[in-house]
Structure 1
């Protein structure tokens, strides 16, 4: 099992940070000028699953699907406000993209009108300004947007010409991955549909489909760990882009994903489930639980209690299980401290499942030179070892 990424490290690996993702998508539109899309809802489902997985992305994920422009704008502004510099923020947008007569880019929502983009579309300048004003220096923007909604057999084109996404949205502290270049369409797969009329608006039904070519590549790279090209257990923005680029161009040579990044250092998107090391307790704490001296094991109880109250779920479970093993310690002092620690943890986290099959029974500790009562050895040297008598057989 890979480490829990939530609050584990900043995007550039320099300390504690929150990992927050906002996924915005629209596949149903009121305007007849904007055709319904197959992919966005499925894009959000697939990407959210990967990003939210504690041992892959570790993001707290918020979804905004098929909402009017004022709600989406507010969600985007809220997302970038009141953040810390080390917070990792990921914004994903999957929808139609349209341009006004001046060439300004807008992202379409359910109530977008192509003749009133300024009032009913999400301006790319609005997104750029919110990103620029955010205190976070670790911002990832993923764009999988269609521009014209022209549909063809097998592939649904997503664009109406050169938009210059990177030119409109680039800025300091940000990495931008877009599904195609400024002069290309982005495509969504269209393989198993039995009808040309894909509109299900108002029916309460979900469209059958699969993620777009670009998002499918992102999700595959994250969930399989194949995007971890250097096998260090982490997937950076650059690695994810390289993987997606290869997969997209292999599927459709006419689509070329693009990347812009001006983040110093590595910006980590996820942990690789294929190469990451399993979670473990600090070596010095584990060693202390096996120390011949009862007073050292008592100190280990305090360290385990602290670990069992951290934000990392895997660490909490391991520490709790180790404390349970110390309930059977042959030092009364250690046993009592372990019992008190477990009670405090149970009070602090009521109802939490702390079971962990990863913890193995504690091997026998050496008894030479340790006081089995838990009292400290005399100043002149270690107390003589006293092996406790065997426990009576309770019988059948």
Structure 2
């Protein structure tokens, strides 16, 4: 039987919120909005309630731009590192001819955006200067100046949020938005200048779809999914996301987390803490919700490779600059690093037991690192020793351990694949020959009986790793060699990332026959692919700077693309339990995407 007890006090005592709502505009080209004032009032009620949020709330309704700038500057100045600050904006979002983002004030003139509106870059700089380590920015607006074109929206033209809200690491900044790029933030029917519906009649005051859902989750406590008595920012986002989608609106709320300060709590739950709550088995599902959280880690150099340890306690990353970094994916903190090569690292792979980390790149060698120390990650320097494997491979583009850990395969510019015993560090057999150009991807089948190799010669080949002999003919249907190659967890599918404008290429490795490709809407060059451990998802990414999730059996998309990187994505990896997807990009960041569990 499920019981409850009162929620404990919030751990952060210094909590402040600035809520800005602009619905009235002097510029006749900017339509009035009815939702902002009501949204701010509702949010102020739940955030300011001592029994819920305990925030000191300042509300600014229909400010002129000068007063708006002063209010933001005053609010963010003088904060201490231990404080939590919330900045909320509900208004028109506008773009100038150079696609720079501005937030409208009541005296904003569309023809004079730099001098009459709040520059998003200026706001970012004020947040950067603020010493509070926990910052929450909530935007209920679209990035557009053409509200009148679309009924019910706050804009019509958009750009990706990360272009303006850059990665500020180690500050625990969370950004929630009411919609994705190119989508509207709906509030129902717009107002005429007189304050009535376009079709006439009185108009009841109500909040926007997104903020209303956010407030409902906080006020009722229904957003507290884990029953711990607190509603975190991630839980509030997940609840609002579900409500917006249930409402049938064509908008997809987004969450962005930059830096690493752990969970940030918005409110206490009036439902209290659930005690002895039952744990029913979840119903099977065929698709997953979008990420429950997103976190961007800053790296020293562009990232070419990421890899999880088998137990999920470590995430390794490497790339240009030759350094390997280790991270704790739960705390999002770096735990160790080493200079692996004087030049760019191209490939990483953990052994199945997690005792070894293989690394290779432009110095034409393969290194074995031993991530020493207990799994508690208490030691500051984990990468202590390495051993260079004998034999040259040319520049190393790909590495893979066999499932039993008895073999390590490496491929690269030498056009061959070399096999080693990673324990004795001795070569096994002769190099595998057959490709006529660079070998850029490797994958062992789950049972270890096949080794797949992909090359820029536009072929994928299968080998028996025990004999070094080819299995069957090269697999057909490849237009261009690509970096990604993966077996499904059950071994029934082999997937190659595909070339420019192509979806992934799939085969039955037992027969060598292609499997029908459906993957609609592909327009980018795919550089990386990864299967979730349960095989329910296939993740792909590349030059489009986004990650797409697919049902590999149907080739149909699952959810919306995951956005946040500013450069091409070259590596993807799932944690062993499938709860985290990591992505490495040439923008010198690692994306961590929290995914709900799947029973598909």
Q: Structure 1, residues 103-123: CA drift from partner, whole Å, max 9, x if none?
A: 111000000001110000100
Matches of residues 283-322 of structure 1 in structure 2 within 5 Å? none
Give the match for residue 54 of structure 1: 50
Matches of residues 237-386 of structure 1 in structure 2 within 5 Å? 237-262=233-258, 263-276=260-273
Partner SS, residue 255 of structure 2: strand
CA separation in 2, counterparts of 1:54 and 1:152? 42
Q: Structure 1, residues 2-56: CA drift from partner, whole Å, max 9, x if none?
A: 5685xx422xxxxxx3100000011000101101011001001111101111111
**Once the 2 structures are TM-superposed, how far is the Cα of residue 74 of structure 1 from its aligned partner?**
0.6
1:19 aligned to 2:15? Answer: yes
Give the match for residue 181 of structure 1: 180
The question of whether the paired residues in 2 share the 8 Å contact of 1:4 and 1:58 is answered with no
Q: Structure 1, residues 81-129: CA drift from partner, whole Å, max 9, x if none?
A: 1001110000000000000011111000000001110000100011100
Matches of residues 132-171 of structure 1 in structure 2 within 5 Å? 132-146=128-142, 147-148=144-145, 150-151=147-148, 156-170=152-166, 171=168
The question of whether the paired residues in 1 share the 8 Å contact of 2:134 and 2:261 is answered with no
Q: Structure 1, residues 119-144: CA drift from partner, whole Å, max 9, x if none?
A: 00100011100101110010000000
**Once the 2 structures are TM-superposed, how far is the Cα of residue 264 of structure 1 from its aligned partner?**
2.5
CA separation in 2, counterparts of 1:38 and 1:4? 37
CA separation in 2, counterparts of 1:94 and 1:207? 19
CA gap of 1:3–1:228, structure 2 versus 1, over 3 A, is closer
The question of whether the paired residues in 1 share the 8 Å contact of 2:95 and 2:145 is answered with no
The question of whether the paired residues in 2 share the 8 Å contact of 1:69 and 1:109 is answered with yes
CA gap of 1:238–1:34, structure 2 versus 1, over 3 A, is same
Please identify, of 160-169 and 223-232, the stretch whose mean Cα deviation from structure 2 is larger.
160-169
CA separation in 1, counterparts of 2:67 and 2:265? 29
CA separation in 2, counterparts of 1:275 and 1:88? 22
**Once the 2 structures are TM-superposed, how far is the Cα of residue 276 of structure 1 from its aligned partner?**
4.2
**Once the 2 structures are TM-superposed, how far is the Cα of residue 149 of structure 1 from its aligned partner?**
5.3
CA separation in 2, counterparts of 1:196 and 1:84? 44
**Which residue, out of 74, 79, 84, partners 1:78?**
74
CA separation in 1, counterparts of 2:238 and 2:247? 14
CA separation in 1, counterparts of 2:79 and 2:192? 44
CA gap of 1:105–1:50, structure 2 versus 1, over 3 A, is same
**Once the 2 structures are TM-superposed, how far is the Cα of residue 207 of structure 1 from its aligned partner?**
7.1
CA separation in 2, counterparts of 1:28 and 1:246? 30
Give the match for residue 221 of structure 2: 225
The question of whether the paired residues in 1 share the 8 Å contact of 2:244 and 2:252 is answered with yes
CA gap of 1:67–1:2, structure 2 versus 1, over 3 A, is farther
Give the match for residue 99 of structure 2: 103
Larger Rg: 1
CA separation in 1, counterparts of 2:187 and 2:207? 7
CA separation in 1, counterparts of 2:244 and 2:35? 15
Extract unaligned runs of 5+ from structure 2.
197-201, 275-600
**Once the 2 structures are TM-superposed, how far is the Cα of residue 152 of structure 1 from its aligned partner?**
8.0
**Once the 2 structures are TM-superposed, how far is the Cα of residue 208 of structure 1 from its aligned partner?**
3.6
RCO comparison, higher one (Cα < 8 Å, 6+): 1
Q: Which structure features the higher share of helix residues?
A: 1
CA separation in 1, counterparts of 2:109 and 2:82? 38
CA separation in 1, counterparts of 2:203 and 2:247? 23
CA separation in 2, counterparts of 1:198 and 1:246? 34
CA gap of 1:224–1:43, structure 2 versus 1, over 3 A, is same
The question of whether the paired residues in 2 share the 8 Å contact of 1:98 and 1:105 is answered with yes
Give the match for residue 92 of structure 1: 88
Q: Which structure features the higher share of strand residues?
A: 2
TM-score (norm 1): 0.62
**Once the 2 structures are TM-superposed, how far is the Cα of residue 209 of structure 1 from its aligned partner?**
1.2
CA gap of 1:212–1:160, structure 2 versus 1, over 3 A, is same
Aligned-CA RMSD value: 2.4
CA separation in 2, counterparts of 1:242 and 1:236? 10
**Once the 2 structures are TM-superposed, how far is the Cα of residue 167 of structure 1 from its aligned partner?**
3.0
CA separation in 1, counterparts of 2:127 and 2:34? 29
**Which residue, out of 61, 65, 80, partners 2:61?**
65
1:9 aligned to 2:5? Answer: no
Please identify, of 100-109 and 249-258, the stretch whose mean Cα deviation from structure 2 is larger.
249-258
Q: Structure 1, residues 241-263: CA drift from partner, whole Å, max 9, x if none?
A: 11111111121341001110024
CA separation in 2, counterparts of 1:252 and 1:143? 20
**Which residue, out of 21, 32, 35, partners 1:36?**
32
CA separation in 2, counterparts of 1:92 and 1:207? 25
Give the match for residue 340 of structure 1: none
